[in-house]
Amino acid sequence: MKKLDAFTKLKNMKPEDIKEHRRMRKERRERILEKRRNSAFAKKMAPYYRFMNRFSLLFHAVWACVINFLIEAVSRHSPVEAWKYMTGTPLVFFYNAGMIFVTFMLVYLFRRRVFARIIISVVWLFIGVCNGVMLLKRVTPFNAQDLKTFTEGLSLFTNYFSPFELVMMAVGISALIIWGVAMWRRGGQYEGKMHRLVALAGAMISFGAFSLVTTAAIDNRVISTYFGNIAFAYQDYGVPYCFSASLFNTGISEPNDYSKSTIEKISHNGKLTESKADTDVKPNVIFVQLESFFDVKEFEALQTSEDPLPNLRKMFQEYPSGYFKVPSVGAGTANTEFEVLTGMNLRYFGPGEYPYKTVLKDQVAESAATAFASFGYGTHALHNNGGNFYSRAKVFNNIGFDSFTSKEFMNILQTTENGWAKDDILLTHINDSLNSTEQEDFVFAISVQGHGNYPEEKIIENPKITVSGMETEGKNNAWEYYVNQVYEMDQFAANLVKMMEDRGEPAVVVFYGDHLPTMGLEAKDLKSRYLYNTNYVIWNNIGLEKQDRNIPAYQIMADVMEQIGLHAGTVFNYHQERRQTKDYLLDLELLQYDILYGKQYVYNGHPPITEGHMEMGINDVTLTGLNSNLDGTYSLYGTNFTKWSKVYINDEKQKSTFLNNTRIELPESTLDENDIVTVSQVGSSNTIFRTSKEYIYRDKKLMEYTDEMKQEDNAPAGTDEEAPTETTNE
């Protein structure tokens, strides 16, 4: 209001008065600046400011090297390792320092140059600290896609950090902000004449020149645009470059020869999108992605007291099997998953990119789910981890699954010593998925039991299998923990096969590992001498020929579909037709670009999926009764409760205690006549995945609130309606 009054007053002033008003404002501003310059702090810092302004470019260069060293020291958890990196690969080190240096050119656009330097420095150091902290909790470095979790309720941080650690982070960030505000006020200003156009031109020239340096660095293999393992890439190419690449270099760049005619030629005028079957026998198809699984006999130095995978080894000998080439090492579960489900080669995407976090998060695309659905299959995904992790709830909907059962729908009673859900829980939910339809089903199950980190202290008191051969006791302990998880994963595989045999239906079950475990393995340690190999096997009861061969992840779905006589899905049909032909990979890149980023010429206006229709979970939560306890609390009874079941009264979330799959306690709730009670399965970030039917509290009983009851309650007074029927009660 004061600003509006001042504007009105200024508008009504005479020209000579306006000129005098502006002169007075200028003098007042100069007095304030003079007062700041004459303060004790300003006088003390003035010589330093003059020195920094005079030799600012040299200062920026040295400071960029210091920041780069600090980033690497924090990220590698060792200044010694940072020194080895700097002296061992000086070109990479100075390239990254050059990237930091270029950002300091923005300082000259501002009068508060000291403050601008501080902000830029803090941003770079923040990236380094985040990376170092993340690597204490997981094997995947901090990358640009992690920043998106800020818009998803910080689910990344709640997945990896304890409440105390989160509080300490909040305190640290708050202190940093307070210090930044103080430096903005006390940091002084550049007193010379500003040349912002010259500064802007200089910054643009610097960024342009650095882009040419980047091209030269890539051409001379100082850095790379492909990260087979993002963790290794951060070690090899430096944090600033890798983080920047994950921020700016995503998706697939348009190939030079991309055009409608080229795509029509590749797709035979759209025939590649057609579906056809060579057989009337359509088996249930189950893919099981085993976390960090591989045949430990591939690691030549490791000795085990007994074979940890007797069941899978027998399958290796009797059914199609071989090496499974995956796109990452030690991490990147979602990327192996992406290649298997879409048939797309990850190599054409940005370095270190997770398509689950980029293109598939907000865009529909065909997949194995849509391919099997074209033959009338029900399609289901399962994962004994959170539904929001890697945005799977969104992604699986966007690629055409009918249902997705995440841990929020599972009563997980057994966990590893590390706290990961054991894989046996998947058996019940695979069976539920198969029973949920009357036709054949495609089930994609993602396990989590083999997840790291692998403790170097002995935490399994009486291990089934003991190991030896490692150079330290800590490494023996880590491998012993891992091998015993592999043993239980093998038992799970055997139980799943038995379950399918007992069902007596045609079935194909594919087991494979998503990547090697994070054990510091090197190529020379493995029989295959290749870090990107895990193992796969195709169990079946339909008499598939045993054809052992090594296969990349992006071809496995097309291969299995071809063996069972199904041809569907544009990319899968392409693999079946063009594998091992001329320009196979070049045309695959064109096809991937057209489907995900181009004009979708291949579909000729008829894409196989336009929107998702997926439901979370298979089974509804039902409420069967409510007990009013003597202490004023309530006990809610029903079916299919889990730890992630949350009770709502009139859409307000209640404090509750999960006891078992049929009982939840409500310690603080109050219920009044005609209150509406529901139960929702709630994931991270308070995402409501699925909600039960509505139940009404009436006459001190809980009953299903049917449509007929709702109509009666909404009927005008005096109408002759039937009385409501109690459907459920204690």
* 585 and 704 part of one domain: no
Q: What is the pLDDT of residues 422-478, one digit of tens each?
A: 999 999 999 999 999 999 999 999 999 999 889 999 999 899 999 999 999 999 999
The answer to whether residue 730 is domain-embedded is: no
> The domain that contains 693 carries what CATH number?
2.60.40
For residue 490, give both structure tokens: 């093998």
**Secondary structure element (H or E) that encloses residue 627, with its range:** strand 622-628
More confident residue, 521 or 572: 572
> Which one, of 499, 163, 108, 546, lies nearest residue 318 by Cα?
546
State whether residue 16 is helix, strand or coil. Answer: helix
The answer to whether residue 720 is domain-embedded is: no
Domain boundary among 195, 227, 248: 248
3-state secondary structure 238-304: CHHHHHHHHHHCCCCCCCCCCCHHHHHHHHCCCHHHCCEECCCCCCEEEEEEECCCCCHHHECCCEE
The answer to whether residue 725 is domain-embedded is: no
The answer to whether residue 153 is domain-embedded is: yes
Phi and psi based region of residue 655 (left: phi greater than 0; alpha: psi -120 to 50; beta: remaining): beta
Mean pLDDT value across the chain: 87
What pLDDT is recorded for position 662? Answer: 96
In the predicted model, is pLDDT for residue 730 greater than 50?
Answer: no
The one-character DSSP state at 602 is G
In the predicted model, is pLDDT for residue 157 greater than 80?
Answer: no
In whole angstroms, give the CA distance from residue 134 to residue 405: 28
Q: How far is CA 609 from the centre of its chain?
A: 23
> The domain that contains 459 carries what CATH number?
3.40.720.10
What pLDDT is recorded for position 657? Answer: 95
* 681, 703 Cβ separation under 8 angstroms: no
What pLDDT is recorded for position 118? Answer: 84
* 150 and 93 part of one domain: yes
Q: What average pLDDT score do residues 110-114 get?
A: 75
More confident residue, 175 or 135: 135
* 299 and 266 part of one domain: yes
Q: What average pLDDT score do residues 618-638 get?
A: 93
What are the phi and psi torsion angles at 213 (to 5°)? Answer: -65, -40
* 27 and 61 part of one domain: no
Q: Provide the residue range defining the domain that includes 452.
A: 260-615
What pLDDT is recorded for position 155? Answer: 53
More confident residue, 494 or 13: 494
pLDDT tier at 643, thresholds 50, 70, 90 = very high
What pLDDT is recorded for position 688? Answer: 96
The answer to whether residue 428 is domain-embedded is: yes
* 309 and 211 part of one domain: no
* 13 and 81 part of one domain: no
In the predicted model, is pLDDT for residue 142 greater than 60?
Answer: yes
* 160 and 19 part of one domain: no
- Count up the domains in the chain and report the number: 4
CA 38 to each of CA 25, 29, 44, 53, 409: distance values in angstroms, whole numbers, following the listed order: 20, 14, 10, 19, 67
The answer to whether residue 476 is domain-embedded is: yes
More confident residue, 20 or 102: 102
Where is average pLDDT lowest: 15-29, 201-215, 345-359, 415-429?
Answer: 15-29
State whether residue 594 is helix, strand or coil. Answer: helix
In whole angstroms, give the CA distance from residue 328 to residue 346: 10
In the predicted model, is pLDDT for residue 169 greater than 80?
Answer: no
For residue 407, give both structure tokens: 């841990």
Q: What average pLDDT score do residues 594-619 get?
A: 95
Q: What average pLDDT score do residues 339-358 get?
A: 91
Where is average pLDDT lowest: 144-158, 220-234, 527-541, 671-685?
Answer: 144-158
* 374 and 269 part of one domain: yes
Percent of the chain whose pLDDT exceeds 90: 62
CA 641 to each of CA 421, 656, 693: distance values in angstroms, whole numbers, following the listed order: 17, 12, 14
The answer to whether residue 318 is domain-embedded is: yes
* 303 and 203 part of one domain: no
Residue type, 575: H
> Which one, of 409, 342, 496, lies nearest residue 682 by Cα?
409
* 435 and 537 part of one domain: yes
In the predicted model, is pLDDT for residue 159 greater than 80?
Answer: no
* 75, 132 Cβ separation under 8 angstroms: yes
The answer to whether residue 606 is domain-embedded is: yes
* pTM exceeds cut of 0.85: no
Where is average pLDDT lowest: 109-113, 246-250, 314-318, 332-336?
Answer: 109-113
In whole angstroms, give the CA distance from residue 590 to residue 263: 7
* 15 and 46 part of one domain: no
Give the list of residues 6+ apart from residue 523 with CB closer than 8 angstroms, or none. Answer: 529, 530, 531
* 569 and 686 part of one domain: no
CA atoms within 13 A on the CB side of 466: 5
CA 481 to each of CA 282, 418, 477, 661, 695: distance values in angstroms, whole numbers, following the listed order: 40, 10, 6, 30, 47
More confident residue, 712 or 695: 695
For residue 112, give both structure tokens: 């508060």
Domain boundary among 615, 638, 669: 615
Instruction: Give the long-range contacts of residues 425-430, CB within 8 A, separation 24 or more.
Output: 425/384, 426/288, 426/382, 426/384, 426/492, 426/496, 427/492, 427/495, 427/496, 427/499, 429/382, 429/405, 429/618, 430/286, 430/382, 430/496, 430/499
In whole angstroms, give the CA distance from residue 342 to residue 553: 10
In the predicted model, is pLDDT for residue 164 greater than 70?
Answer: no
Where is average pLDDT lowest: 374-388, 518-532, 633-647?
Answer: 518-532
What pLDDT is recorded for position 33? Answer: 57
What pLDDT is recorded for position 13? Answer: 64
Q: Is the dihedral of CA 675, 681, 685, 687 positive or negative?
A: negative
State whether residue 202 is helix, strand or coil. Answer: helix
What pLDDT is recorded for position 49? Answer: 60
Domain boundary among 615, 647, 663: 615
Q: What average pLDDT score do residues 648-664 get?
A: 96
